[in-house]
A and B are shown apart, each in its own frame.
Chain A
Amino acid sequence: MSNTLPCGTRNYEYGQDMAIFRTRTQWVLLIAFLIVLFCVPLFISNFWLNKINLIGITLIAATGLNILVGYCGQLSIGHVGFMAVGAYTSAILTGKLGLPFPVAFLCAGLMAGIIGLIFAIPSVRVKGFYLAITSIAAQFIIIYVIQKWTDMTGGTNGLVVADASLFGYVFASQTSFFYLIAVVAVACIFFAKNLGRTRTGRAFIAIRDNDLAAEVMGINLFYYKMLAFFIGCFMAGIAGSLLAHWSVAISPDNFSFSESILYVGMIIIGGLGTTLGPILGVVLIRLLQVGVTQATPWLHESLTWMSTGFASGITPMLFGLIIVVFLIFEPRGLAHRWNLFKASYRLWPFSY
């Protein structure tokens, strides 16, 4: 895999071999990156901070989906439905029951995880297309319940979500949310990175690659599949909770089916089963969206001879095309490209 070391570099201790950050430079770079990351709000406008926050929230959910799809090989096309569960759980707990935000945040994850487990039951018997269809059905059933359970969820009118607060500090501005989201996102990515290296992560990968062989080797398929669903949906749930508090108001329409497809697209574009993959995929897709939203009015007014659908018909066309092109030409995604680039940089000027 990508963790192969350059020629001539060896590890002499087990601890050294297991380390994610092997050298002091890597540590320094990590710390520098974190410092830069946490200094970002000082430099950029609210506009871009808002986009970065959305990227952060998307990243948390996409990391969860990547554990489920990329590591464990269980395709889910209803991820946004589980985000909706988390968002509404958090909104209702803080708004209607007045629970503190951290409790609601965790409950949102748990609730989404538990609902995820219900729809994961079929995964014991089926896989592939059947599972994909189940997850689509899950999304529609969840959204239906949210739309109709008006006493709790406000129905199609949506809900106004109470402010998130932690020990008396209220997260109201984009900057404060940035820190909240950044901490959660970094923790989730670190968790995902480590999960892939544990017994659980290896079991997931074994199930993905060949579930029959995995079972023969003594891996409890039921347990691990359920665990993958739980972790994936838990992350969707906490991302949903953050989304709810961040976007102030939520309605069932925030959680559309096409968004679910986009999540699958993001992790495919980024690279399934890698930690870096979701990051690259999410950033690429969300930035493309920003670009298109900003360009639309301009295109509409300057290209009047064009069909009016030009401006935003181009968005789904582009995303669809990117998904197809990546599947055909680079199924391992951007992360793989990045590793290739890194390898060639390391070996330069020798070509192999």
Chain B
Amino acid sequence: MTELTQYLITGLAVGMVYALIALGFVLVWKSTGVANLALGQLVLICSWFTYTMMKQASLPLWLAFPAVIAFAAVLGWAIERFALRPLIGQPILSLIAVTLGIGYFLSGMVSFVWPQSIGALPQIFPKTPVHIGGAVVSQEYVWAAGISLLIFLLLSAFYKYHRMGIAMRATADDQMAVQACGIPVTKIFSMSWMFACVLAAVGGILISSIGGISYGLVETGLKTFSVVILGGMDSFGGAMIAGPIIGLAKSLGTGYLAHYVWPEFGEVIPFIIIVIVIIVKPFGLFGEKRIERI
């Protein structure tokens, strides 16, 4: 019984971390229609920047955090301005490939600036683990879950009520019409990339305070796509629900199938889910169905 609760709690906690990164993807997709495949690399580079701020420059958290956020925003702005804006109106293949190229570039930059392959952030969250009904979970996960919920609520509210949010939704719907209404589309594109990078930075800080910084973060980014696909690419709520589902599938799958399948089955569960979802229900649980016959 304790085993089951432990699997459930771990699954939910890990899933919330995935959900947080997925939010960054959905944000960009929703407002610019670009599928960001450089997600993992963004998380990686922001984590390393946090490392520099906190470990090498040994700034306190309240100083380091704004610095990281500012860095992420500048990064997002630069990516949008120099790589994506020239490609507005290009076929989807170019848009996907350009994010791949950005990812490649960023991973090179990481090994350029931070040649060491692993790093550990100083302790941000209290060490004592939390006990939930016989299961144990580290504080990092609890904080990660809380923060992703908070960000989800903020984002939803922003999209629902704020002028800019509404403009972003409108842009995603019909760029031409929005432009005709006098809404600066390019500014909206910049904004959404900046937001997405900030989300990646927050996710990066949380994940790397759990397990240190390493190239593994790139693969974590790729696994996050299962959350996006399952939840629907344009739904924040979908990501928040799909994240825990993937987390649970991983921990329960490895927990109870451990003796029937090859070891480490959990590592491919997200990818298997991707294939199944795309075959069965391509637009995910909450994604908007495009009426488009291919």
Contact = CB atoms under 8 A, between A and B. Distances in A.
Interface in A118-153: 119, 121-122, 124-130, 132-134, 136-138, 140-141, 144, 148-149
Contact of A313 (B109, B272, B274): B109
B181 interface: no
B86 interface: yes
B169 to A, nearest CB: 20
A171 interface: no
A342 B226 CA distance: 46
Interface string B254-294: 00000000111001100110110011001000000000011
Interface stretch (B99-107, B124-132, B157-165, B241-249): B99-107
Interface stretch (B62-70, B111-119, B189-197, B199-207): B111-119
A313 B106 CA distance: 10
Given A133-B229, A133-B278, A323 B108 contact: no
B262 A320 contact: no
Contact of B271 (A121, A141, A321, A331): A141
Interface residues on B, range: 35 or more
Contact of B86 (A69, A314, A328): A328
A98 interface: no
B112 A307 contact: yes
Contact of B100 (A121, A264, A331): A264
Nearest to B34: A129
A309 B282 contact: no
- A-B pairs, 3 with minimum CB distance: A320-B105, A313-B112, A316-B108
Name A's interface SS: helix
Contacts of B92: 127-129
Contact of A75 (B93, B98, B226, B275): B93
B225 interface: yes
A320 B103 contact: yes
A338 interface: no
Given A125-B279, A317-B108, A320-B106, 6 more contacts: A121-B279, A133-B229, A148-B262, A261-B104, A324-B83, A331-B94
Contact of A211 (B104, B225, B229, B294): B294
A320 B105 CA distance: 4
A309 B112 CA distance: 4
B135 interface: no
B111 to A, nearest CB: 4
Nearest to B293: A212
A221 interface: yes
B37 interface: yes
A77 interface: yes
A165 interface: no
Contacts of A128: 35, 92-93, 96
A308 B105 contact: no
B282 A328 contact: no
A149 to B, nearest CB: 8
Interface residues on A, range: 35 or more
B222 interface: yes
A320 B102 CA distance: 6
B100 A323 contact: yes
Contacts of A77: 37, 100
Interface string A101-124: 000000000000000000101101
A317 B35 contact: no
Nearest to A124: B294
A319 B104 contact: yes
Contacts of B278: 122, 125-126, 130, 133-134
A327 interface: yes
A133 B273 CA distance: 11
A132 B104 CA distance: 16
A317 B112 contact: yes
Given A128-B96, A323-B97, A265 B104 contact: yes
A308 B116 CA distance: 9
A147 to B, nearest CB: 8
Given A130-B229, A137-B274, A211-B294, A268 B97 contact: yes
Nearest to A324: B101
Contact of A144 (B96, B267, B275): B267
A141 B273 CA distance: 11
A39 interface: no
A64 interface: no
